[in-house]
Structure 1
Amino acid sequence: MKNVTFRQIRVFTEVARQLSFVRAAEALHLTPPAVTMQIKELEAQLELPLFDRQGRKVALTTAGEYFLVHARRLLAVMKDAEDAMQRLRHLETGVLNVGLVSTAKYFVPRLLARFRDEHPGVEVRLQVAGTRDQLVALLNSGEVDLAIMGRPPRELATRAEPFAAHPHVFVAPPGHPLLALGHVPVTMLENQPLIVREGASGTRALMDRFFQEHRVTPRIAMEMPSNETIKQAVMAGMGLSFLSLHTLGLELRAGEIELLHVEHTPVIRTWNVVHLQSRLLSPAAEAFRYFILEEGEAWLAAHDRPWIGAGPEAAAPPGGGG
């Protein structure tokens, strides 16, 4: 293994992430033949196949799965070394890897755009995790420097800093009979069909806890893994839903979805910026951490205020999901 290069390791981890030589080539700005050559040279050094190739389908071999664990560790160590050198040069340049739960994609890119205006030397890479568990895995493997999420992971030693409120609300299609009530008791939701996020979602966990606290058994009509699909279903009149207020701006402004002012809502969680305690942040990551702690709350509050101001008193249970 003495002739294995970091270039080969980076190419290998990208192919393992994409499970596609073509998509890995696009992500790395290389040609597919160049990616194939790097993998073949790496496999020759290791004297083991790392991928099973069947037509266009690519899968890790057992050797590939083991090597991926060590490859990620090596890249994380190299990233730490690069960050240390940047500190010595006092430069806010380099690559910033930010991971986030899917709900945060509605506002984090706009904050990142403002950050880049102030720090044009930083190259920003964004990874949206499908689930909270996937984001925790990205953080643990060192693939992201910072994570934007609700409930910080208890299974990792992290530093989590809250930077903004995260309201959750019930929504209904325009013209729904409950909208005429103004203030809706929680018990009146018991017989209403609900379109909800999947069980692994932090939004779902928060909704389940809300109903448990108020001793109401919800009627789950459908589970969906996407906020966008849920919103379309609500607009089509298929039921009510419980969603992050941050996901609803366009639909509320267009009048396609209405806030349902249920007692004890909005339910408030907090957004956190999270990083591993064991890793030193690069100057770029430290700059973004400071930026979001300083700017995030004011920006989100300005966008939430027109809708929160129209509702009843908020509830704020401890904790919250991601």
Structure 2
Amino acid sequence: MRKSLLRMTLRQLQVFRAVCASQSYSRAADEMALTQPAVSQQIRQLEEQLGQPLFEYVGRKLYLTEAANSLLAASEDIFDRLDNLDMSLSRLQGTLRGELKVGVVSSIQYLTPHLLAAFRERHPEVTYCMEVMRRSDAIRRLQDNKDDVTLMALVPQDRALEFFPFLDNPIIAVAHPHHPLATASDLPLKALEEHLVLHREAGSGTRKACEEFLQNKRVHLLQTIQLGSGDALVQGALAGLGIAMVTAHAAATFLRSGELVRLDFVDLPLYRSWCAVHARGKRLSPVAEAFLAFLREERAEIRRIARRFEHPRPAER
């Protein structure tokens, strides 16, 4: 190893990471509570130790050099290891401390905060960063190792991923109370062909599950409108726009209030599983390991939480 690399300090790496994130010396200075000359000095010292430039300007925009990208990857690994060390030391002291980064697809965003609250009752010093995203973005972030744990359904089989199911994910059909099918019983799925159906964007896990299910049942939707999120589907149904096939969790509040009704299709709900996912071979932090253990081992507690989002079949009201 070059002796010059041993002279790098964690402070220098913190300043370097701030410049990379903001792509600006002045914004990095504000974030680190330093002057801009102090930031410039820290970067110059790093460049001397590495023997290569870290940034270059093209026009008025700052770009990372190849050396900077290599240093950024190494610095992320260093700070991840320090975070894990802090968590491990806290665990030795009888507490679990640290941040859990959770990526969730949009259709489970309503349930996840309740899961985190239950986990935090056991580990009150854990903090959280929850990012809500589309399925395609969740898959990309798994590849880029951006999150500790990802919660999603329909885990892609062609990626190097570790996962396990922890909860059923029921998909139901909902509509405005004045919809023609609102009071009908024992509806065949073929009835969907006669009505306008709202569906998610291409790439959505809910849409993929519904399309495969309807194809297997030989149901061909003739009238559809694409809306870009689970929330938009629910709002479309509230507006009387059409029938929405959504996760029960997304519609629970409006079903309880009576603003939406659950349509009585004999072949619904469609059940899929929510899964906890991470990259295969990923070095999990103690907090991430504890959260995964919670999802594996506390199934009764998780089902109890999920029951808050359940709504009985129409015949059971």
**TM-score (norm: length of structure 1):** 0.78
* SS class of match (1:256): coil
Read off the aligned partner of 2:116 and give its amino acid letter. Answer: L
**Paired residue for 2:172?**
169
Q: Does 1:8 find its partner at 2:15?
A: yes
Higher Cα Rg: structure 1 or 2?
2
Q: Following the alignment from structure 2 to structure 1, what is the Cα–Cα distance between the partners of residues 182 and 279? A: 45
What does 1:26-105 align with in structure 2 at a 5 Å threshold? 30=31, 38=39, 42=43, 45=47, 46-49=53-56, 61=63, 63=64, 71-72=72-73, 74-76=75-77, 78-80=79-81, 82-83=83-84, 86-87=87-88, 90-91=91-92, 92-105=96-109
Distance 1:153 1:226, change over 3 A: same
How far did residue 141 of structure 1 move?
A: 2.2
5+ unaligned residues in a row in structure 2: which ranges? 48-52
How far did residue 30 of structure 1 move?
A: 2.8
Q: Does 1:204 find its partner at 2:211?
A: no
Q: Identity over aligned residues, as a percent? A: 27
How far did residue 120 of structure 1 move?
A: 1.6
Read off the aligned partner of 2:283 and give its amino acid letter. Answer: L
How far did residue 142 of structure 1 move?
A: 2.4
Distance 1:13 1:290, change over 3 A: farther
What per-residue deviation string (whole Å, max 9, x for no partner) do you get for residues 4-35 of structure 1?
Answer: 8331353245437xx9x97x99xxx9379879
User: Alpha carbon RMSD of aligned pairs, Å?
Assistant: 3.4
Q: Following the alignment from structure 2 to structure 1, what is the Cα–Cα distance between the partners of residues 256 and 172? A: 15
How far did residue 105 of structure 1 move?
A: 0.9
* SS class of match (2:267): coil
Query: Residues 86 and 97 of structure 2 are in contact (CA less than 8 Å); yes or no, is this contact kept in structure 1?
Result: no
Distance 1:151 1:51, change over 3 A: farther
How far did residue 37 of structure 1 move?
A: 7.2
Q: Does 1:121 find its partner at 2:143?
A: no
Q: Following the alignment from structure 2 to structure 1, what is the Cα–Cα distance between the partners of residues 67 and 108? A: 32
5+ unaligned residues in a row in structure 1: which ranges? 55-59, 313-322
**Paired residue for 1:261?**
264
**Paired residue for 2:50?**
none
For 1:214, which of 217, 222, 242 is the aligned residue? 217
How far did residue 242 of structure 1 move?
A: 0.7
* SS class of match (1:243): strand
What per-residue deviation string (whole Å, max 9, x for no partner) do you get for residues 68-126 of structure 1?
Answer: 58735641454145425643663521221111111111011121122222212212111
**Paired residue for 1:303?**
308
**Paired residue for 2:141?**
138
What per-residue deviation string (whole Å, max 9, x for no partner) do you get for residues 180-224 of structure 1?
Answer: 221111111112111111011001111111221111211343211
Q: Following the alignment from structure 1 to structure 2, what is the Cα–Cα distance between the partners of residues 148 and 52? A: 41
Distance 1:182 1:68, change over 3 A: farther
How far did residue 253 of structure 1 move?
A: 1.0
Distance 1:188 1:99, change over 3 A: same
**Paired residue for 2:194?**
191
How far did residue 254 of structure 1 move?
A: 1.1
